[in-house]
């Protein structure tokens, strides 16, 4: 029996964002137009109109910008850990659902103000922070791992990231987050703030690297403005891996409300070893492939390896900071296990262009018609 094709967009969002108008219906025409690499002599030497020559901000950091770990790492005090334990006890006694845990039900009299300061740093400072000291969240408060065999997309705010050998699913059918393979620089689609809670470390590898998109912008704007143009075009084909529609198009780089926003994941653009790109959608152009690689290698050049220990939480401004992971190996007592949490701060979160607002809605706005992808 033929497998049913899943709609990628819920009906409410299809209507709200006029999504049926945005899919390029003529693949042959698009192929003809887009597979032609621009002649080198025609490449532009100017930035798109209205885009900044350079971004001056604490967000525009590089590998050697930090002199002390305390500039990006916050160590919880015994008093603050006691506050977390007390709040956990209250939640358990009140039998509050995971979804109902919020400021008013998880009261942190002292730590709350410190977390607010850290959130400012994530949104308006260097764009990330590590919170350290074995935060012992009780595992029963965390939604259990549900491992979907053919799980190509997820909009779940909490996802387990581990080499899921124990599921019995062949490695070739597992997404990168359920493997031990390296992941190149990318942002997640979609959240304002990415939380990475390291429950356990691997025997070797599994390093988390961060890089500032604003630094990458500055370097490319100064040296390859044509790549900035390429990144801003609305013709990047994003694979939906067999859903309906088979792909959608949008830029990777935005200039909105005074912020430069880079939001892309290579997997939906190029496929990955474990999730091959759909064969019947338009291929990436040479200029796009070059731009993607330029972003990756520029990010690597300016990257920071974040010292993440078991129990640490890292919070990252997903609109301005890219992340990557090195390959890793587990053994019996050391199994790398990370909880990926997608967060949104309604007070400090950046304004988003409509295309990213669509993904914000898909992730955070309650939609009754959404089941599972």
Q: Are 205 and 278 in contact, with CB atoms under 8 Å apart?
A: no
CA dihedral (339, 341, 164, 173) in degrees, to 10, reads -170
Rounded to the nearest whole angstrom, what is the least distance from the CB of residue 363 to Fe ion in the complex? 14
CA separation for the pair 284, 270 (Å, rounded): 8
163 binds Fe ion (CB under 5 A): no
Residue with CB nearest Fe ion?
188
Asked if 198 contacts 338 with a C-beta cutoff of 8 angstroms, the reply is: yes
Question: Binders of Fe ion: how many residues, by CB under 5 A?
Answer: 1
Show the binding pattern over residues 109-138: x = contacts Fe ion (CB under 5 A), - = does not.
------------------------------
Shortest approach of Fe ion to residue 265 CB, angstroms? 7
Q: Is 137 helix (H, G, I), strand (E, B) or coil?
A: coil
Strand-pair partners of 314: 130, 196
294 three-state secondary structure:
helix
For residue 325, the minimal CB distance to Fe ion (Å) is: 8
Minimum distance, C-beta of residue 210 to Fe ion, in the bound complex (Å): 11
Backbone torsions φ then ψ of 82, nearest 5 degrees: -65, -35
Length of the chain: 373
Q: How far is the CB of 13 from Fe ion (least distance, A)?
A: 22
Neighbours of 54 (CB within 10 A): 12
Q: Judge whether 5 and 244 are in contact, CB under 8 Å.
A: yes
Q: Which is nearer to Fe ion, 188 or 226 (CB)?
A: 188
Give the residue with the Cβ less far from Fe ion, 76 or 341. 341
**Which is closer to Fe ion, CB of 229 or CB of 340?**
340
Cβ atoms of 194 and 323 closer than 8 Å: yes
Tokens describing residue 189: 């689609």
Shorter beta-carbon distance to Fe ion: residue 103 or 305? 305
For 263, the token pair is 């939001």
Q: How far is the CB of 85 from Fe ion (least distance, A)?
A: 30
How far, in Å, are 211, 252, 317, 349 from residue 187 at the CA level? 10, 10, 9, 16
SS3 84: helix
The residue among 188 and 219 lying less far from Fe ion, judged by its C-beta, is 188
Nearer of residues 76 and 314 to Fe ion, judged by Cβ: 314
Of 314, 133, 329, 65, which is closest to residue 208 (Cα–Cα)? Answer: 314
Site string (179-198) toward Fe ion, x via CB under 5 A: ---------x----------
Least gap, CB of 175 to Fe ion (angstroms): 11
Contact 329, 205 (CB under 8 A): yes
Closest distance between Fe ion and the C-beta of residue 196, in Å?
9
Q: Which is nearer to Fe ion, 11 or 273 (CB)?
A: 273
Nearest CB to Fe ion, comparing residues 224 and 340: 340
Q: Which residues bind Fe ion (CB under 5 A)?
A: 188
């Amino acid at each position: 029996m033929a497998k049913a094709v899943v709609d990628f967009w819920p009906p409410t969002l299809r209507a709200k964002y006029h999504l049926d108008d945005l899919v390029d219906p003529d693949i042959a025409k698009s192929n003809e137009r887009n597979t032609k690499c621009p002649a080198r002599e025609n490449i532009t030497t100017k930035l798109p109109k209205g885009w900044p020559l350079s971004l001056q901000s604490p967000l525009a950091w590089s590998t050697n910008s930090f002199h002390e770990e305390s500039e990006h790492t916050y160590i919880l005090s015994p008093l603050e850990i006691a506050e977390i334990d007390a709040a956990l006890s209250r939640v358990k006694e009140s039998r509050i659902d995971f979804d109902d845990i919020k400021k008013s039900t998880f009261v942190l009299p002292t730590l709350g103000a410190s977390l607010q300061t850290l959130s400012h740093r994530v949104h308006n400072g260097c764009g990330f922070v590590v919170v350290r000291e074995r935060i012992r969240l009780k595992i029963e408060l965390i939604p259990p791992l549900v491992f979907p065999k053919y799980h190509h997309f997820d909009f779940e705010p909490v996802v387990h990231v581990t080499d899921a050998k124990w599921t019995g699913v062949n490695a070739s059918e597992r997404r990168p987050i359920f493997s031990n393979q390296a992941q190149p620089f990318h942002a997640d689609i979609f959240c304002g703030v990415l939380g990475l809670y390291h429950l356990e470390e691997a025997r070797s590898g599994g390093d988390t690297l961060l890089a500032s998109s604003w630094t990458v912008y500055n370097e490319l704007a100064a040296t390859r403005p044509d790549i900035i143009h390429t990144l801003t075009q609305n013709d990047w084909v994003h694979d939906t891996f067999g859903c309906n529609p088979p792909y959608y198009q949008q830029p990777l780089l935005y200039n909105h409300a005074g912020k430069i926003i880079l939001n892309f994941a290579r997997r939906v653009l190029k496929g990955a070893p474990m999730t091959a790109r759909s064969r019947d959608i338009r291929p990436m152009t040479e200029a796009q492939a070059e731009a993607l690689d330029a972003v990756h290698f520029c990010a690597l050049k300016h990257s920071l390896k974040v010292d993440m220990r078991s129990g640490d939480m890292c919070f990252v401004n997903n609109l301005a900071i890219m992340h990557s992971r090195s390959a890793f190996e587990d053994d019996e007592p050391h199994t790398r296990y990370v909880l990926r949490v997608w967060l949104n701060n309604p007070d400090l979160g950046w304004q988003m262009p409509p295309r990213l607002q669509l993904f914000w809605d898909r992730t955070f706005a309650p939609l009754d018609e959404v089941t599972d992808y």
